């Protein structure tokens, strides 16, 4: 298995092990650059091809299409089951489609606003409905909000995958690991909601952009993405924590030195098999988060600075997710007299539920397997797997990733209702990074991605037959 965490330095681009070396120019032929573009060839087509290779665009698009084929198969299976039940028993099986469940709420808010959608709609944050309303104002799009919503979120899913590629490259992932990130991101069991009219693709895109900006010291990216992330989902508030960790790197304050430097130059650490002497995660090896790095990876990073502008950028990036959520909560207070309602509504028993003992919640959910509540019991294996992934994450990835993922995990298990747990875990994209790292062996990867695609089909079918809450 190959560790995929390697500090990168703009002044010394790395060549990850397992990838072909940059080809040497042949006699009589023009020399080619790092991404296969002739030094004398500056055509737009050549630059576009180089960009596509650099960002694994082919893999992203093929995985994107594969995910939609899987969800399409689940929809077809749902209709077949419904028709069979109706013909054989004369019973009507209730089903839904890509605009069902939470997608219906986003669509109604986009079409009629929060007042028209009802008081309960305020638990859905406004960014996605606002985008839908913006695009339906274009010529020819009026009256087609449902189609606009589906097209929008599916295109955003492509952008999400591309930003994941950026994160993987910034963290030093090699080619094979980066491709696994793309595929597991597309075919993870909860990823069927990226095809539906859900906010998951948008929230994932913004979260990945926030961490990418913070890790590469591009604070303007972290600020904009953090502000929008706070407007997108309640859990967007938690993005302030990993950004604060990254912003604190390199500051000369007590205890912060344990976070590691923000951009200290030094020789790159080679990628070694996980568990090998000196590899990340091996006994006695340095923690991933403490390794010196500019955070730039192949995308290029910025050296840390201590000037006032740099400090202002760090602070603004930390505050941005809180400000984004605060804008919506202030509007809620002004328009409805209850600013915290979008958050407190989630504590209803039919939704996330009131605060509860996590262990008791998981045990009660496991008992659902013998009491006819299979949908509830299905959450338990994934939660246990997430706990294991968190342990691995603390060993293999910079500390900001597992801290954020732990907060998301706690937000899930401290509620009495575990519905949508898998979807919330998927929204914490470092779990996808761990999955890609842990499946380096070919036979393991083949098994995992096959089972994952099959599980995605099953979960989507259960959701479309109203047997599982996505």
Average pLDDT over residues 323-330: 98
DSSP code for 14: -
The pLDDT of residue 289 is above 70: no
What is the structure's pLDDT at 256?
60
Best CA proximity match to 154, nearest among 232, 76, 60: 60
Residue at token pair 């000037």: 307
In which band, very low, low, confident or very high, does the pLDDT at 311 lie, cut at 50, 70 and 90? Answer: very high
In which band, very low, low, confident or very high, does the pLDDT at 259 lie, cut at 50, 70 and 90? Answer: low
The pLDDT of residue 3 is above 50: no
Average pLDDT over residues 117-125: 95
What is the structure's pLDDT at 179?
98
Phi/psi of residue 363, each to 5°?
A: -65, -45
Under 8 Å CB-to-CB from 164, ≥6 apart: which residues?
A: 181, 182, 185, 208, 429, 432
79 contacts 97 by C-beta, under 8 angstroms: no
Segment 128-154, tens digit of pLDDT: 999 999 999 999 999 999 999 999 999
For residue 152, give the H/E element and its range.
Answer: helix 145-170
Average pLDDT over residues 260-279: 40
As a whole-number percent, the residues of the chain with pLDDT over 70 amount to 76
In which band, very low, low, confident or very high, does the pLDDT at 86 lie, cut at 50, 70 and 90? Answer: confident
Structure-model confidence comparison of residues 325 and 6, the more confident one: 325
The pLDDT of residue 438 is above 80: yes
- For the chain, give the mean pLDDT: 84
In which band, very low, low, confident or very high, does the pLDDT at 369 lie, cut at 50, 70 and 90? Answer: low
In which band, very low, low, confident or very high, does the pLDDT at 13 lie, cut at 50, 70 and 90? Answer: very low
Average pLDDT over residues 188-210: 98
- Quickly list DSSP for 131-144: HHHHHHTSTTTTT-
In which band, very low, low, confident or very high, does the pLDDT at 389 lie, cut at 50, 70 and 90? Answer: very high
437 contacts 171 by C-beta, under 8 angstroms: no
The pLDDT of residue 64 is above 90: yes
Q: What b/e string do you get for 61-74 counting C-beta neighbours within 10 Å, with b at 16 or more?
A: eebbebbbebbeeb
**How many CB atoms sit inside 10 A of residue 442's CB?**
9
The pLDDT of residue 243 is above 60: yes
3-state secondary structure (DSSP) of residue 194: helix
What is the structure's pLDDT at 36?
52
Structure-model confidence comparison of residues 367 and 67, the more confident one: 67
Where do the structural domains in the chain lie, given as residue ranges? 55-86+94-347+442-462, 348-438
In which band, very low, low, confident or very high, does the pLDDT at 350 lie, cut at 50, 70 and 90? Answer: low
> Euclidean distance between the first and final Cα of the chain, in Å?
33
Report how far apart, in Å, the C-alpha atoms of 282 and of each of 38, 54, 74, 395, 396 are: 41, 30, 42, 8, 9
Q: Ramachandran region of residue 56, left (φ > 0), alpha (ψ -120 to 50) or beta?
A: left
The pLDDT of residue 158 is above 60: yes
């Amino acid at each position: 298995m190959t560790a995929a965490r390697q500090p990168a330095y703009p002044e010394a681009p790395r060549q990850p092990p397992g990838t072909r070396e940059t080809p040497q120019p042949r006699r009589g032929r023009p020399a080619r650059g790092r991404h296969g573009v002739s030094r004398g060839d500056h055509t737009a087509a050549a630059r576009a091809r180089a960009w596509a290779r650099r960002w694994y665009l082919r893999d992203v698009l093929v995985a994107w299409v594969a995910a939609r084929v899987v969800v399409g198969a689940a929809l077809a299976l749902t209709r077949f089951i419904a028709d069979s039940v109706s013909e054989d028993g004369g019973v009507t099986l209730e089903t839904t489609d890509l605009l069902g469940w939470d997608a219906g709420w986003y669509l109604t808010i986009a079409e009629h606003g929060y007042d028209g959608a009802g008081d309960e709609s305020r638990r859905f944050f406004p960014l996605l409905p606002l985008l839908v309303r913006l695009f339906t104002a274009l010529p020819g799009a009026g009256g087609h909000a449902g189609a606009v919503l589906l097209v929008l979120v599916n295109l955003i899913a492509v952008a999400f995958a591309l930003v994941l590629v950026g994160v993987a490259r910034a963290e030093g992932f090699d080619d094979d690991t980066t491709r696994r990130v793309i595929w597991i991101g597309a075919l993870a069991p909860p990823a069927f909601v990226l095809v539906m009219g859900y906010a998951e693709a948008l929230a994932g895109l913004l979260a990945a952009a926030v961490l990418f900006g913070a890790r590469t010291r591009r604070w303007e990216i972290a600020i904009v993405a953090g502000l929008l992330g706070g407007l997108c989902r309640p859990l967007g508030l938690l993005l302030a924590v990993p950004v604060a960790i990254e912003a604190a790197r390199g500051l000369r304050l007590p205890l912060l030195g344990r976070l590691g430097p923000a951009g200290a130059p030094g020789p790159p650490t080679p990628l070694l098999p996980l568990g090998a002497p000196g590899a990340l995660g091996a006994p006695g090896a340095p923690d991933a988060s403490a390794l010196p790095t500019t955070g730039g990876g192949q995308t290029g990073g910025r050296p840390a600075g201590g000037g006032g502008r740099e400090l202002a950028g760090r602070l603004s990036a930390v505050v941005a997710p809180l400000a984004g959520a605060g804008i919506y909560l202030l509007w809620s207070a002004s328009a409805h007299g209850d600013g915290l309602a979008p958050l407190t509504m989630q504590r209803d028993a039919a939704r996330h539920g009131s605060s509860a003992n996590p262990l008791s919640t998981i045990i009660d959910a496991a008992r659902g397997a013998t009491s006819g509540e299979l949908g509830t019991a299905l959450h338990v294996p994934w939660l246990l797997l997430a706990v294991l992934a968190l342990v691995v994450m603390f060993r293999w990835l910079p500390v900001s990733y597992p801290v954020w993922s732990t907060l998301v995990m706690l937000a899930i298990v401290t509620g009495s209702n575990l519905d949508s747990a898998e979807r919330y875990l998927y929204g914490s994209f470092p779990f996808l990074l761990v999955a890609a790292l842990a499946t380096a062996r070919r036979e393991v990867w083949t098994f995992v991605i096959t089972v994952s695609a099959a599980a995605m089909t099953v979960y989507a079918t259960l959701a479309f037959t109203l047997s599982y809450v996505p």
